[in-house]
Amino acid sequence: MTMDPTYPKAPDSLISHWDKRRGPMRPQEGEGLPGVDVDLAALKAITLPAAPPPLPSGAGRYAEKEHELRRELAGQSELVLLHGLLIANLRKRRFPDHAPQLFRRLWAEQSPYLLEVLSTRWLISAVITFGDHGQTASELALGREMGMMFSMIKLYEFERLHSGKPPEEPFGLKRVDAKMPLGMTPFSLATGGLDINLLAPIWQRALDEPVMGPLACCLLDRLNQDPGGLFRRIGQMRAKKRARIAARKAQ
């Protein structure tokens, strides 16, 4: 029986949909990113107001995005706003030539501060941005690996919310009798190391990165400490499975 594809007319339909969201910001006169030599310490000392002034009539895409970020980041610093604006620009097809250099400078000079104040959501956005605009081949590779991993985690964890189980509750050990997609072999819960084989090399590369390394390690540590999530649940299921095997052997 022939099944319809998940995404009809792929890859063209996928690329077209993706590209529509990448239209340039097009700042108007007086708008745009500061220069690459902007005083970052001064921006860190300026607190954003509790609410931005209303958008003027006829505001363009850049002003709309900045207004949206000012509302979201109210009470934080102008440096955090700049970080958000850089990521918003760098997601587009075209962006200011100095934007990648300024983004990397933020993380080279202000990493401890950014790691302290940014939410996990923004840290993930930052690591994905390194995957597109890293300065070295290793930064690009690590950013892409981590971006793919966190994007797949988000998709899986969202779907799992429809299972009726909260993120902290693992599934039982009983499996349905069904084949894995794409003919993949099942994961061995008691002896398999797929989760470790995925995380260990990424973490090792993160430890060796001078600029994005602290960002990557922070995210991996937060993933490791989170009480829910795929890796925590797999660990709990593995421990339960091994306990059952040990109990049977002891009889």
155-214 pLDDT tens trace: 999 999 999 999 999 999 998 889 999 999 998 999 999 999 999 999 999 999 999 999
Average pLDDT over residues 15-25: 90
| Angle at 123 (CA atoms; ends 119, 128), nearest 5 degrees | 150
Most confident of the following: 51-55, 61-65, 211-215? 211-215
Q: Is the previous residue joined to 11 through a cis bond, with omega within 30 degrees of 0?
A: yes
What is the tally of helices (H) and strands (E) in the chain? Answer: 10, 0
Spatial contact of 43 and 77, defined as CB atoms under 8 Å apart: yes
Mean pLDDT, the chain, whole residue set: 94
Average pLDDT over residues 71-88: 97
Q: Is the pLDDT of residue 85 over 60?
A: yes
Distance CA 177, CA 180 (A): 10
pLDDT tens profile 107-147: 999 999 999 999 999 999 999 999 999 999 999 999 999 99
- Which of 49-53, 77-81, 90-94, 100-104 has the least mean pLDDT? 49-53
> Phi/psi of residue 164, each to 5°?
90, 0
Distance CA 107, CA 206 (A): 14
pLDDT confidence band for 2 (50 / 70 / 90): low
Q: In terms of C-beta density within 10 A (0-12 exposed, 13-18 middle, 19 or more buried), how is residue 241 classed?
A: middle
Q: Is the pLDDT of residue 1 over 70?
A: no
Q: 11-14 contacts: CB < 8 A, separation 24 or more? A: none
- Which of 53-57, 61-65, 79-83, 236-240 has the least mean pLDDT? 53-57
- Which of 29-38, 57-66, 96-105, 198-207 has the least mean pLDDT? 57-66
pLDDT at 126: 98
pLDDT confidence band for 245 (50 / 70 / 90): very high
pLDDT at 25: 86
pLDDT at 108: 97
Distance CA 195, CA 235 (A): 9
Distance CA 232, CA 168 (A): 8
